[in-house]
Amino acid sequence: MFSVCSPSGSSVETEDYHVILLQVSLQSDSLIYDLDSELSFPCSLKLYAAQALRSDHNIRPEYHRKLRVIPADSFLLNFASDRSHMKTPDGSWRMPPPTLPPHTHRRESHEPG
């Protein structure tokens, strides 16, 4: 990823996963919502593809990105992260964690108590 969590936007970020939201529109530009990007928020899909995704052409095949598209309702019901992948074996943060709370299952976040 380029223009994501990189001060210069010129270095490659390697991540185990990166979550973005694509809002498809037939009447105007489709938009990308990326909380970690240094691009505008939201950002047009065209600009995001050019600046953040870029081409795999000059990247070794073993580093080509893999995308998994899931419907928003499935994401909201099933995705959760405790951010353990962002910590070293001793429990310290590899990088400062996001300021927003970790995403939990929708079912968990609406349970009383």
Domain boundaries, the chain: 1-69, 71-113
pLDDT under 50: residue ranges of the chain: 2-3, 6-8, 109-113
Alpha helices in 1-113 (DSSP H): 45-48, 72-78, 106-109
Determine if the peptide bond prior to 89 is cis (ω within 30°).
no
Tell me, rounded to whole angstroms, the distance of Cα 64 from its chain centroid: 16
Question: pLDDT at position 7, please?
Answer: 47
Q: What is the pLDDT of residue 15?
A: 62
pTM over 0.75: no
Rounded to the nearest 5 degrees, what angle is found at the Cα of 47, between the Cα atoms of 30 and 77?
A: 45
Cα angle, residue 83 at apex, residues 31 and 48 outer, rounded to 5°: 20
Nearest 5°: CA angle at 37, between 31 and 42? Answer: 25
Only one residue has tokens 């995704």, namely 53
Residue 16: predicted pLDDT: 65
Give residue 82's identity as a one-letter amino acid code. Answer: D
